[in-house]
Structure 1
Amino acid sequence: MFLKNSPATVTLISRRCTRRLGTRMWRRGANLEGDTANFIETEQLLEFEGARISFLQIRGSIPLLWEQIVDLSYKPRLNIIDHDQTSKVVERHFSDLCQRYGDILVADLTDKNGDEGRLSMAYAAEMEKLQNIRYVSFDFHHSCGNSNFDNIELLYDQIAEDFEKQGYFFIGKEGEVLSEQKGIMRTNCVDCLDRTNVTQSFLARKCLNSQLQRVGILSSTDCISMFSEDFEIFKNLWVDQGDEISLEYSGTHALKRDLVRYGKQTMAGMIKDGISALSRYYLNNFQDGIRQASCFLFDSLLDAIDLISGRCDVNTSRPSSAQLNGFETFSYIPVASALLIGGLTVTSITLNQVGVAGRNAQTIVSSVICAGVTAGLMAVVKSNGRQICSKPRLCRLI
């Protein structure tokens, strides 16, 4: 980018932790060692005339023991696992972060109602037990919705002082260290994808403004958003990065991309988000179990250690996780689909006959029976959703 004819390079580097790999619905929360799902360190690197400035942020699933098993529901129920090691898990997680990064500032973006609210309350209760870690709860959906992106300033107002104290790592033109980052911002929502990416891009922009002012590219009253072409490059960089992280974890592009690009949702963006949401539903229910098994294979050495130590349970009634043919899941899908489609078709035909033949009692009774049978089939399929959905065959207990 060229700000005021000064060439500068901004690079984003995201590093995924390999200690709790997996897909969106099959890797939630933390394990007993305190490793969390979708844990990613993102570095924003600014290079200008030989000087290099690095700013780090992290994201990761809420470090409690919890799960959200797919069952054909659009939004499966979230289950917080009652375990006597929960507090130790949280302590281990943040102890590791403190050793690596220094002071930790936590922003929890989850909702305050429903299942997310229960998870957020449990998280807040555990965070109260920890010393020297600041936890801030910010209901992103309530505050920002789809069109009030500027309200994220409400979060920044709460954390600005601590966030700015953490600073960034600055190496001058001669290789001298001019400043160091003294802590890190940990951001999470439920998936650590969409809301998290919007928030991290906002914080990265705040930090970039400070860096550009320090090296003299911008004055103290300037900000990158005043330079439309360069600002567009910066926003696209964060959108692309969010997409890559989301593709690995959920299988689709990130949602809320328009909030990063335009500061509000557009109609085109809402349609794309809807398509991505439907794609996530399909992948979560019918593909991610197989993808999770491939993660186990990739992590085969750790799996072997876990099997020996007893942290894995092999379901002997099913094939090994090395057999990725997906027969078990997909043997149910055609049967369930055929029954539902057949029931809906017969019901539609009989209802059409009612319209043609008038109020014929026999036809009406037939329609009611077909509709009832179809509804019953739908209820049976829904109640057996966990058996129909794709699931990994090598199952970690926690």
Structure 2
Amino acid sequence: MASADADGAPLLSEEPLCPGSCSRELELREFRDRYVIRSLDGAAAFAVARSGGSIRPLSPEEAAAGTGSDCKVSRIYGVVGNIRLLAGSYVLVITSRKDAGSYQGSPVYHVNSMKFLCCNEAIKHLTPQERRDEAYFMSLLRIAETTCGLYYSYDRDLTLNLQRASKLTAGRIHKPLWKQVRDDCHLICPTADPRFVWNKNLLEELIEAKLDEFIVPLIQGSFQSAQFTLKDRPVRITLFSRRCNRRLGTRMWRRGANLEGATANFVETEQLVEYEGLTSSFIQVRGSIPLLWEQIVDLSYKPRLSIIEHEETPKVVQRHFHDLSQRYGETIVIDLTDKQGDEGDLSNAFAAEMGRIPGVRYIHFEFHHVCRGGNFDNLQALYNQIEEAIHKQGYFLMNTKGEILWEQSGVLRSNCIDCLDRTNVTQSFLARKSLDSQLQRMGALLSSENISLSDNINDIFKKLWVEHGDELSLEYAGSYALKGDLVRYGRQTLPGLIKDGMSALSRYYLNNFHDGVRQDALDLISGYYTVSQGSSSPFHNGGFESSSYLPVASAIIVGGITATTFTLSQVGRNAQHLISSIICAGLTVGVVALVKANGKQFCSRPRLCGLI
């Protein structure tokens, strides 16, 4: 709670805002008819009407007015944006944060919790169907409040990796953060990267109201940082991943690419190294196989992969790799998928399309076959194939004066099916090779040395990548990453196998029974589905929800198995129990067969947007 003076207005922060910075701490005042959000380190403030969500900037005099007895006052740490539904507007604010470290001298924060402020008094004027729709939309907002892996800075555009940020003009850096991102949409400043702004759709009304001090771009991904000593000198390594918002979604409901060439689970990962005034950055990317394909959940542990036949497929692949080459330069594709079964069919289709893409090198590396038995070191065979190209692409390096000494001229693009477990293991291996090279060039290591010579440094590096993999996996699949042992220890361990088993069960449950709703929440927040008055309800289909019958079917199956087991144990005492056993077993088998035959209908499915 903010401390307040006699008038009920809190004391302002002593530290003034820097040009281009956002307000670091805010006061939220909740009145009966409005919300007032006031900067504690600046003079800006604005009000949001509870009746409909209209936003109005406040003058310093209005902002300094007393709170009164009917006002609840609390501290918040950022305004994420707002969204309009049927009954009005909902404003998302950051209610708690955690210091995650720093990026090039600017503090980076992790969003711990968020909440929506409801401005929906018009709900009483809605029709019964509209009220049901609004209730569902509000349930999606509650899911969005729990979004994990969100990071932000008050004074730095985190959408840009170091190489791109180093080329900005001083005037560009002092613009408000939203302008640094927004300008790219209008091709004024092509260096910004709006792909990585998670709340891009939510910022529109704040931008229109010119509330620059309150507009905070959020990045979803992972931010890990650690420091160690090498030859009595401190070295800081930072691992920063940025998730793309162009095909945002959950594991099973966002696969492959859309028609524009944007792929699911596309993540840019930057490994930053700081030593003796030198700063180096190494970029890798991951993303789903850029074909049109799907994998619809149907209660089976591993649903069938299906390639969608579409005349636009060649152009989709071309658009994807044209975008990569424009942003990163020469691209090397590392396909880690299997060559058998449905996965093999998808891999073969990908390889065939890559044969038509000039200037992009495609390498297939069957991870499960080469690294069978959990032998992480077998990835050296992959590295041997691309070592020369990696050295040619290099990494970014600059000195304390900001002078660029070396630039990264290309990128490695890795994928498996989910772009999680196999991809994370492979990227960590390649990143370790790059770290050795970075430290050698900086003078921290001799050309014959590597970080593996120090168990402490090696453990720190592995821990960073394990935590990074877990965070990305939670965002996409809802569970921790598998194969974490391969990164941490270079082999599979018994505790690791148990942890992987628990994570696999968690994925199965979430993917089948929860992710359809979570996908709806992402589509709503990201603007892929827009709520509009007067349009037909997306939920009014006149049918029944099969998923609502799943608990009943599950209870019948469990009860049938229990009854069958019990009656069989009593057969020797009473022959009638045999008939009971047969009836119970038949009923159980029938229900199991019904559920299996209609598996897709019993699973949680998104209801707002299609797959492509």
Pairwise TM-score range, normalised by the shorter structure: over 0.9
Q: Decide whether the 8 Å contact of 1:343 with 1:373 is kept in 2.
A: yes
Which amino acid in structure 1 is aligned with residue 379 of structure 2?
A: I
Structure 2 vs 1, CA of residues 318 and 170 (structure 1 numbering), >3 Å: closer, same or farther? farther
User: Hey, what's the Cα distance between the residues in 1 that align with 2:539 and 2:327?
Assistant: 37
Structure 2 vs 1, CA of residues 91 and 365 (structure 1 numbering), >3 Å: closer, same or farther? same
Greater Rg by CA: 2
What is the deviation of 1:343? 1.4
What is the deviation of 1:264? 0.2
User: Hey, what's the Cα distance between the residues in 2 that align with 1:330 and 1:85?
Assistant: 34
Between 330-339 and 256-265, the greater mean CA deviation after superposition: 330-339
What is the deviation of 1:151? 0.7
Q: 2:529 matched to 1:303?
A: yes
- Higher RCO (CA 8 Å, separation ≥ 6 residues): 1
Q: Decide whether the 8 Å contact of 1:11 with 1:46 is kept in 2.
A: yes
What is the deviation of 1:316? 4.4
Name segments (4+ residues, structure 1) moved above 6 Å: none
Aligned to 2:309: 82
Aligned to 2:399: 172
Structure with the higher strand share, 1 or 2: 2
Aligned to 2:89: none
Q: 2:541 matched to 1:317?
A: yes
User: Hey, what's the Cα distance between the residues in 2 that align with 1:251 and 1:180?
Assistant: 36
Aligned residue for 1:395, secondary structure, equals coil
User: Hey, what's the Cα distance between the residues in 2 that align with 1:7 and 1:146?
Assistant: 37
Structure 2 vs 1, CA of residues 397 and 287 (structure 1 numbering), >3 Å: closer, same or farther? closer
Q: 2:601 matched to 1:384?
A: no
Aligned to 1:353: 570
Aligned to 2:486: 259
User: Hey, what's the Cα distance between the residues in 1 that align with 2:347 and 2:232?
Assistant: 46
User: Hey, what's the Cα distance between the residues in 1 that align with 2:587 and 2:279?
Assistant: 68
| Structure 2 unaligned residues grouped into runs of 5+ | 1-227
Aligned to 1:135: 362
Q: Decide whether the 8 Å contact of 1:329 with 1:390 is kept in 2.
A: no
Which amino acid in structure 2 is aligned with residue 333 of structure 1?
A: L
Aligned to 1:72: 299
Aligned to 2:413: 186
Q: 2:566 matched to 1:339?
A: no
What is the deviation of 1:377? 1.1
Q: 2:381 matched to 1:157?
A: no
Q: Decide whether the 8 Å contact of 2:524 with 2:530 is kept in 1.
A: no
Aligned residue for 1:396, secondary structure, equals coil
Q: Any residues of structure 2 matched to 1:95-244 within 5 Å, and which?
A: 95-244=322-471
Q: Decide whether the 8 Å contact of 1:109 with 1:138 is kept in 2.
A: yes
Which amino acid in structure 1 is aligned with residue 334 of structure 2?
A: A
User: Hey, what's the Cα distance between the residues in 2 that align with 1:127 and 1:24?
Assistant: 24
What is the deviation of 1:367? 2.2
User: Hey, what's the Cα distance between the residues in 1 that align with 2:296 and 2:435?
Assistant: 39
Q: 2:584 matched to 1:364?
A: no
1:177-201 CA-partner distances (Å, limit 9, x unpaired) = 1110000000000000000000000
Structure with the higher helix share, 1 or 2: 1
1:162-212 CA-partner distances (Å, limit 9, x unpaired) = 122110011023321111000000000000000000000000000000011
What is the deviation of 1:94? 0.3
Provide the TM-score with structure 2 as the length reference.
0.60
User: Hey, what's the Cα distance between the residues in 1 that align with 2:578 and 2:460?
Assistant: 63
What is the deviation of 1:330? 4.9
What is the deviation of 1:333? 2.1
User: Hey, what's the Cα distance between the residues in 1 that align with 2:542 and 2:502?
Assistant: 34
Aligned residue for 1:357, secondary structure, equals coil
- RMSD of the alignment, in Å? 1.8
User: Hey, what's the Cα distance between the residues in 2 that align with 1:372 and 1:206?
Assistant: 59
Between 333-342 and 34-43, the greater mean CA deviation after superposition: 333-342
What is the deviation of 1:138? 0.6
Q: Decide whether the 8 Å contact of 2:328 with 2:409 is kept in 1.
A: yes
Q: 2:242 matched to 1:15?
A: yes
Q: Decide whether the 8 Å contact of 2:483 with 2:500 is kept in 1.
A: yes
What is the deviation of 1:368? 2.9
1:97-141 CA-partner distances (Å, limit 9, x unpaired) = 000000000000001101110110000000000111000001101
User: Hey, what's the Cα distance between the residues in 1 that align with 2:542 and 2:371?
Assistant: 46
Aligned residue for 1:8, secondary structure, equals strand
Residue 287 of structure 2 is aligned with which of 57, 60, 85?
A: 60
What is the deviation of 1:328? 3.7
User: Hey, what's the Cα distance between the residues in 2 that align with 1:167 and 1:318?
Assistant: 59
Q: Decide whether the 8 Å contact of 1:9 with 1:48 is kept in 2.
A: yes
Q: Decide whether the 8 Å contact of 1:14 with 1:43 is kept in 2.
A: yes
What is the deviation of 1:304? 3.5
Which amino acid in structure 1 is aligned with residue 272 of structure 2?
A: L
User: Hey, what's the Cα distance between the residues in 1 that align with 2:349 and 2:296?
Assistant: 19
Aligned to 2:94: none
Aligned identity (percent) is 62
Aligned residue for 2:510, secondary structure, equals helix
Q: 2:590 matched to 1:373?
A: no
